[in-house]
Amino acid sequence: MSTVPAATGMTAVETRDAGLLSQSELILRKFVRHRLAVASLCLLAFFYTVAIFAEFFAPYSSVWKNLLYAYCPPQPPRFSFSRGFYTYAVRRHIDPVTFRKTYVEDRSHVIPLGFFVKGEPYRLWGLIPMERRFFGVNMERYARTAGGGTPGPEAAATFYFLGADKYGHDILSRIILGSRISLTIGLVAIVITFLLGVTIGGISGYVGGRTDNFIQRGMEVINSLPHLPLWLALAAAFPSDWPPLRTFFAITIVLSLLSWTGLARVVRGKLLALREEDYALAARLLGAGHARIIFRHLLPGFTSHIIVSLTMSVPGMILGETALSFLGLGLRPPVVSWGVMLQDCMKMEVVANYPWLLLPVVFIVVTVLSFNFLGDGLRDAADPYSTV
């Protein structure tokens, strides 16, 4: 009696059905069993959805500020059946001796909150004029409860769910708006990495000989360079008067130029093993060109491995942008990214007194871990015939 079903944890029916499935269906079936990878995929999908519609989900714009509430601590939302969602206003107190600002709740002053409330007008994607926001202060209801007038800044009609920075910017809004750059820069860099890695690695593995030797020595030179100092040197060469969009693409290119060698080695190793296969020799005898053999016959045989390699390299891109922006050599204000936000955390006394300024680190760590778990799940699913 065969022991394969018992060893793999699969029933006889599942084993029989597996032989009728295509490779992509086997990969998908094995991937969905990796619960941590599936959860990471759902979390990343949520993050990217929020980033795409960042203006709608952010309670305020990235430039909105209230200097009267600099370093305001987080205000937790509350709920009651009589009031709905609400929070208490805070009042600022300045110590006459140390001049340190502290905030205390004013329970006599209630700020109503709500979903899909009217806020500061904005343009979604810079095109569609809107003023509804997913969650924030219900200014219409607040104006009614405050006596019918429009509340001014002294009325403390502000809501800082994750606190405020030194300029009174809303941390949550800037994290949401900054996610668009911090998450996108990894995907844009991956496209460039894919083109360089697949093309150069494919040529190296398929042609072989002196061409392969020359390309491999060049990749060894690139890999021997310390990445962080090289990042700093290249980023410092960018003119400070460049517009944010040009700086964004320049940082993306810098990250890509130093990250394609890993994928190129994977592609080279696979092509060295596959170029002598019967189907590759048959295509060559039928007159197929070298580019057609590489991209139409050889690369599809290990597409899953390429996807895994690219997925595992996205966290490095995100961390690279964060490091450069944190050191002031990447993106610069008024551009908002997670790395730019961490520039406020360079002084230990600021971090000790206002720890909520470190919240972008939480989102960076969660995003990087999610990509790593997703890559692990894809790597396991890429070999659907394994019994592990």
21 pLDDT band, cuts 50/70/90, is low
State the DSSP string of 61-109. Answer: -TT---GGGTTPPP---EEETTTEEEEEEEEEEE-TTT--EEEEEEEEE
Is 355's pLDDT higher than 50? yes
CA distance 15 to 378: 21
Higher-confidence residue of 364 and 388: namely: 364
Peptide bond into 121 cis (omega under 30): no
Higher-confidence residue of 210 and 1: namely: 210
**Tokens representing residue 21 in the block:** 């499935």
Q: How far is CA 388 from CA 35, 55, 204, 285, in A?
A: 15, 44, 32, 39
**Tokens representing residue 57 in the block:** 């989900």
| pLDDT the model gives residue 149 | 43
| pLDDT the model gives residue 384 | 54
pLDDT digits (tens, 9 = 90+) for 52-87: 999 999 999 888 888 888 888 998 899 988 888 999
Q: From the DSSP assignment, how many helices (H) and strands (E) are in the chain?
A: 17, 4
Q: Which CATH class is domain 172-381?
A: mainly alpha
79-88, 96-105, 236-245: range with highest mean pLDDT: 79-88
| pLDDT the model gives residue 323 | 79
| pLDDT the model gives residue 155 | 47
Is 105's pLDDT higher than 90? no
Higher-confidence residue of 273 and 342: namely: 342
Q: Name the DSSP letter for residue 342.
A: G
State the DSSP string of 165-223. Answer: -TT--BHHHHHHHHHHHHHHHHHHHHHHHHHHHHHHHHHHHHH-HHHHHHHHHHHHHHH
| pLDDT the model gives residue 39 | 94
Pairing of strands 128-137, 101-124: antiparallel
Mean pLDDT (whole number) for 107-126: 87
User: Rounded to the nearest 5°, which phi and psi values hold at 221?
Assistant: -65, -45
Is 12's pLDDT higher than 50? no
Is 151's pLDDT higher than 70? no
CA distance 29 to 20: 13
Please give the helix or strand (H or E) that residue 346 lies within, else none: none
Is 124's pLDDT higher than 80? yes
| pLDDT the model gives residue 48 | 93
383 pLDDT band, cuts 50/70/90, is low
Is 241's pLDDT higher than 80? no
| pLDDT the model gives residue 362 | 92
**Tokens representing residue 323 in the block:** 């490091």
User: Rounded to the nearest 5°, which phi and psi values hold at 128?
Assistant: -95, 115
| pLDDT the model gives residue 17 | 58
Length of the chain (residues): 388
Higher-confidence residue of 195 and 275: namely: 195
Mean pLDDT (whole number) for 28-51: 90
Closest CA to 185 of 247, 127, 112: 247
Mean pLDDT (whole number) for 81-106: 84
pLDDT digits (tens, 9 = 90+) for 286-322: 777 777 887 777 777 777 778 777 887 888 888 877 8
pLDDT digits (tens, 9 = 90+) for 216-230: 888 888 888 777 777
- Domain ranges across the chain: 75-159, 172-381
The mean predicted confidence, pLDDT, of the chain is 81
CA distance 291 to 371: 32
Mean pLDDT (whole number) for 353-371: 91
pLDDT digits (tens, 9 = 90+) for 156-188: 578 899 989 888 899 999 999 999 888 888 788
Q: Which of 15-29, 53-67, 248-262 has the lowest mean pLDDT?
A: 15-29
